[in-house]
Amino acid sequence: MRNMRSVLEKLSRSRDAKNGVETLQATLNKVKARPESNIPPHYQDFRALLAEHLALADNDLPYVAELVEVKTDERVWRGAIERAVGPDRLRMLVPKQHIRGALKWVNERDNRLHVRLQEADMVAPQAKFFDDGFTRKLNFKAHPLREAAKVLLASRDRHCVASAQDLQTTEHAMTAQGLMSGRAGRFDKQDQRPLHEGWVTGFDNKDQLRDLAQQLAEQNKQVDDWHKSAQTSTRELAEKEGRLTLIDQIVELDFASVDVTGAQATLETDRERLSTLLAQDSDTAKAKAKFDREREREQLKAIREQVSQLQQVVAVKEQQRADAERNRDKAAQRAGGGLSEQDLALAEKHLRLDSKLAASELEDAEREARHKTDNRLSAVQGRVSELETEIVRRMERAQRVDTGALAETGTELHDVPDYLDRLRVLTEEALPQKQSRFLDYLNRSSDQGVTQLLAGISEEVDRIEQRIAELNLTLTKVDFRNGRYLQLQPQRIRHERIRALETAQRHLRSAAQRSAALKEDNGESHYKALRAVVEILRDAGNNRRRQLGSRALLDPPYRLQFFVVEVDRSSGGRSAPRTGSQSGSGGEKELMASHILTASLSYALCPVEATRPLYGTVVLDEAFSKSSPSAATRIIEALRIFGLHPIFVTPNKELGLLKKHTRNVICVQRPGKQASLASISWEKLDELARDNR
């Protein structure tokens, strides 16, 4: 029974192996029909159905693996790169405008495989690869979605290191043997299948054809082995069954009932029959001959099966030979009459091939060289286009500047000689004279405007300081406190922008002297120094005029800050300078402000070389409403000494104070209101002021 199961199992495996051969042969035929892709056929069948639904060509929906191939000189890394890209090799790139229809179609059907889609834009951002990443070892196929594939691969890029020791110190890296590193000391090596199996990248189907041919040969060998094993087991089973039958007969035999004489007679009869059967013209001999022929037929059948298997191998070889001949004829047709000596020298200079390069690798080397040349040519063409655009732009600019000689000249590329001729004339004839005149003007008067501007500002600052000195003389006439008077101390501000301008001015003067003496740069340094000064002034006047530094640069009053000091009349001692309300009581601050304001008014209203104001009438509204009597007394005394004629607008309660310290008091009242000058015209005020004098 065990032998029977063994025979049946071997026959079943032989049949399964034959089915596998048929499947592999069908797959091989499908792969041959698509020579430009290394993707498994069932993925290509799915892609064809989706492309038909979206009304696109198969090439419009590329798999990532179809757009890349490992460079010829980097083939040792191919297995590791295939592992690093992983399942994204079989990810289909779908144009952005078709992704919605693709998702709906995939979602509503049983696809019978792992579908991986990637929305791809025709205008993808620039991919950023590692300098030592595996993406640098790839050639990319020319395709509208190539940049999208680069972006996807950039997200899976890994550093390529030479050894496991380097891998230990580099995160997100890999070796050529497939060992990979992650973060925090994690390492992986996915050895579920050999490193050289399952390759799907590439621009053609050579790898898949080679793998399928190898699998087909191995499957045919399995079919032959299982068939022979099944036949051997069948013969052994038949022999064992015959022996069992004979043993059963012997076991059932009763020796006591054996007829020896009859057996001998039967033996003699059987011998005669055997002799008759073995005769050449007997039916038995004919049957034996027929049996031998049948056995030979079985052997012939086995031989024919071997011949069939060999024919399949021959077919593969024939296909390879036909492909080789076709490639040879195509190469010969492309080569034509060969290269000229000049072309040959150029090729030897720029296309250096390895002397050990096999003939089968020549196409890959040519493709890589073409890819590099196309990239270089595209870059050069782009640069030429940019230069042409720049030339046209400069011709238009030159035409706008030189409106005389170039007024009737076009701005196309064929007009370049006219512009070059005009440039030659300007350079050799007109330009030197203009340049000489410009240098003379630059050296003679380039900084006159700036110098005059800044000199005017400096003069105004000096004038302000002089006026403050005269104001201090006025302040000496009145006591701020008993035996003490106030003085203003101006101090020039040293702001950063002022220092920067002074530095630029010194540089300008130095550049002007150097340029005039040496003439080594045709006034270039002088012009740059002048431009720096102008830029500082322009920035202060236009962009930052509200900033304190810009005001100090261009407005004379902002170049000074003032301190107030108290001076003792008897000893001349001075108090510490004050710039604001850091110390002192409210009354002191009021008196200080009143003295300074009163002195300023007296000075401002006093004509040049006069000792008293020509017109000194001032109006003080709400006078002394919040001041103490002593403070009011000092303010009134200061007004008198400074030669001012005040008109006080104040509540009635302060009239007693005014009558005590002034000679004439004019009181203007309105019914129900306190004293006010709201209804008095300026002409009336002038009349009152004259009467007061």
Q: Among residues of the chain, what percentage have pLDDT more than 70?
A: 76
Tell me what the mean pLDDT of segment 527-535 comes to. 75
Give me the pLDDT at residue 675, please: 42
Assess whether pLDDT exceeds 80 at residue 513: no
Residue 667: predicted pLDDT: 56
Last residue of a domain, one of 419, 445, 471: 445
- Taking 60 as the threshold, does the pLDDT of residue 680 lie above it? no
Residue 158's closest CA among 168, 171, 149, 147?
A: 171
Q: Rank 134-138, 491-495, 517-521, 624-628 by mean pLDDT and report only the highest.
A: 134-138
Is 658 a residue whose pLDDT tops 50? yes
pLDDT at position 564: 80
In a domain, 165, yes or no: yes
Per-residue model confidence as pLDDT tens digits over 553-600 = 677 777 777 788 888 888 888 887 776 655 556 666 667 777 777 777
Query: Of the segments 179-183, 270-274, 422-426, 568-572, which one has the largest average pLDDT value?
Result: 179-183
Report which of residues 77 and 693 the model is more confident about: 77
Q: Specify whether the CB–CB gap between 64 and 152 falls below 8 A.
A: yes
CA torsion sign for 272, 278, 281, 287 is positive
Task: Please report whether residue 552 resides in a domain.
Answer: no
Structure confidence at residue 425 (pLDDT): 77
* pLDDT score of 636 more than 80: no
Better-scored residue on pLDDT, 639 or 47: 47
Q: Is residue 537 part of a domain?
A: no
642 and 596 Cβ atoms separated by less than 8 Å: no
Last residue of a domain, one of 445, 465, 492: 445
pLDDT beyond 70 at 112? yes
pLDDT(551) > 60: yes
What is the average pLDDT value for the chain, to the nearest integer?
A: 76
How much is the pLDDT for 432? Answer: 63
Return d(Cα 145, Cα 67) in angstroms, integer: 9
User: Residue 520: its pLDDT value, please?
Assistant: 54
163 belongs to a structural domain: yes
Give 462-510 pLDDT, tens digit per residue.
887 887 787 787 778 777 777 888 888 887 877 777 777 777 777 776 7
pTM: 0.37
Q: φ, ψ for residue 645 (rounded to 5)?
A: -110, 100
pLDDT band at 692 (very low <50, low <70, confident <90, very high): very low
**Residue 320, both tokens:** 């390879």
pLDDT 10s digits, 252-268: 766 666 667 777 788 88
Q: What is the pLDDT averaged over residues 391-397?
A: 86
Looking at the predicted structure, is the pLDDT value of residue 55 above 80? yes
Q: What is the DSSP string of 399-466?
A: HHH-TTTTTT---SGGGHHHHHHHHHHIIIIIHHHHHHHHHHHHHHHTTHHHHHHHHHHHHHHHHHHH
pLDDT at residue 61, rounded to an integer: 92
Last residue of a domain, one of 177, 198, 219: 198
Indicate the burial class of 588 (C-beta count within 10 angstroms; 0-12, 13-18, 19 or more).
Answer: middle
Percent residues over pLDDT 90 in the chain: 9
Q: How high is the pLDDT of residue 465? A: 81
Q: 540 or 201: which carries more pLDDT confidence?
A: 201
Give me the pLDDT at residue 173, please: 93
Number of Cα atoms under 13 Å in the Cβ half of residue 643? 18
Q: Quick one: pLDDT band at residue 652, thresholds 50, 70, 90? A: low
171 Cβ neighbours under 8 A, 6+ residues apart: 181, 182, 183
Confidence at residue 676, expressed as pLDDT on a 0 to 100 scale: 40
Q: How confident is the model at residue 672 (pLDDT cuts 50, 70, 90)?
A: very low
CB-CB neighbours of 693 under 10 Å = 9
Give the count of domains, the chain: 3
Q: Between 361 and 101, whose confidence is greater? A: 101
Three-state SS for 276-302 is HHCCCCCHHHHHHHHHHHHHHHHHHHH
More confident residue, 437 or 682: 437
77 part of a folded domain: yes
- pLDDT of residue 681 exceeding 50, the answer is no
166 vs 346, higher pLDDT: 166
**Which residues, at least 6 apart from 50, have a Cβ–Cβ distance to it below 8 Å?**
61, 92, 102, 105, 106
Cα separation of 495 and 502, whole Å? 11
Residue 474 domain-assigned?
Answer: no
CA dist., res. 220 & res. 314, Å (int): 13
- Parent domain of 390: 365-445
The predicted structure's pLDDT at residue 193: 85
> Contact, 159 vs 174, CB < 8 A?
yes
Judged against a pLDDT cut of 70, whether residue 79 lies above it is answered with yes
Give 606-628 pLDDT, tens digit per residue.
776 666 777 778 777 766 666 66
Cβ neighbours of residue 172 closer than 8 Å, sequence gap 6 or more: 158, 159, 181, 182, 183
Q: Is the pLDDT of residue 678 over 50?
A: no
pLDDT of residue 446: 55
pLDDT at 232 over 60: yes
How far lies 324's CA from each of 172, 394, 564, in Å? Answer: 42, 55, 105
User: Which DSSP string do the residues of 652-692 spell out, in sequence order?
Assistant: GGGHHHHHHH-S-------TTS-S--TT--HHHHHHHHHHH
- Mean pLDDT for 201-223 is 74
**pLDDT exceeds cutoff 80 at 159:** yes
Structure tokens at 163: 């050894």
690 or 550, which is more confident: 550
pLDDT band at 305 (very low <50, low <70, confident <90, very high): confident
Query: pLDDT-derived band of residue 647, with 50, 70 and 90 as boundaries?
Result: confident
pLDDT of amino acid 317: 85
Q: Flag whether 191 is in a domain.
A: yes
Q: Where are the beta strands (DSSP E) in 166-241?
A: 173-174, 180-181, 187-188
Backbone angle region of 483, left / alpha / beta, with phi > 0 → left and psi within -120 to 50 → alpha: left
What pLDDT was estimated at residue 449? 64
Residue 558 forms part of a structural domain:
no
Residue with tokens 């012009």: 527
CA distance 653 to 675: 10
